[in-house]
């Protein structure tokens, strides 16, 4: 718990120093995804479960949050904007994961109707695993848009 608080504080401090150079997160409404496997976001491994992904209310930068729908676990993470293939709007709200061996890493967040998504930097743990287990295979998981306030 203390590590998560310190990570959140460090991420917030980093964003304050970034100023106006930061790209803005494109998640306009929270989204819900039932993730049937454990996965890693940055350096935090989360158990299988139902999660809500959203832009923190106090953040006007490229930070997103993922939290268990009925739990205490949450992680703030930084993203960079990424263009959809061929610049077209994506048809579905979805999460993209990199799978290396038996490990899954959240890599991208896409909101239906947008031609830009959000991409997480590749964590060092994933890079190390690729050296022994081979290149990551991407897989997608559909998420459900959820109007704010629900």
- CA–CA distance, 133 with 64 (Å, rounded to integer): 29
Q: Would you state the pLDDT for residue 57?
A: 75
Q: What is the DSSP string of 81-146?
A: EEEPGGGPPPSS-EEEEEEETTEEEEEEEE-TT-SEEEEPPPPHHHHHHHHHH-S-EEEEEE-EE-
Per-residue pLDDT reduced to its tens digit, 3-58: 444 444 444 444 433 333 334 444 678 999 999 999 999 999 999 999 999 998 76
117: confidence class by pLDDT, cuts 50, 70, 90: very high
Sheet holding 144-145, edge to edge: 74-78, 63-68, 49-54, 31-35, 144-145
φ, ψ of residue 107 in degrees (nearest 5): -115, -40
Q: Would you state the pLDDT for residue 147?
A: 66
Token output for 36: 């049937």
Contact 104, 130 (CB under 8 A): no
């Amino acid at each position: 718990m203390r590590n998560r608080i310190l990570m959140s504080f460090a991420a917030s401090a980093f964003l304050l120093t970034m100023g106006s150079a930061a790209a803005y997160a494109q998640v306009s409404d929270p989204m819900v995804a039932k993730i049937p496997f454990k996965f890693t976001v940055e350096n935090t491994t989360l158990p299988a479960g139902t999660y809500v992904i959203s832009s923190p209310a106090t953040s006007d930068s490229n930070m997103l949050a993922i939290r268990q729908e009925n739990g205490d676990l949450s992680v703030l993470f930084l993203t960079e904007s990424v263009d959809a293939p061929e610049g077209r709007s994506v048809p579905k709200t979805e999460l993209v994961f990199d799978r290396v061996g038996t490990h899954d890493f959240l890599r991208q967040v896409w909101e239906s109707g947008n031609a830009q998504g959000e991409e997480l930097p590749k964590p060092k743990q994933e890079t190390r695993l690729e050296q022994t287990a081979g290149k990551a295979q991407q897989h997608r998981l559909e998420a459900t848009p959820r109007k704010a306030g629900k």
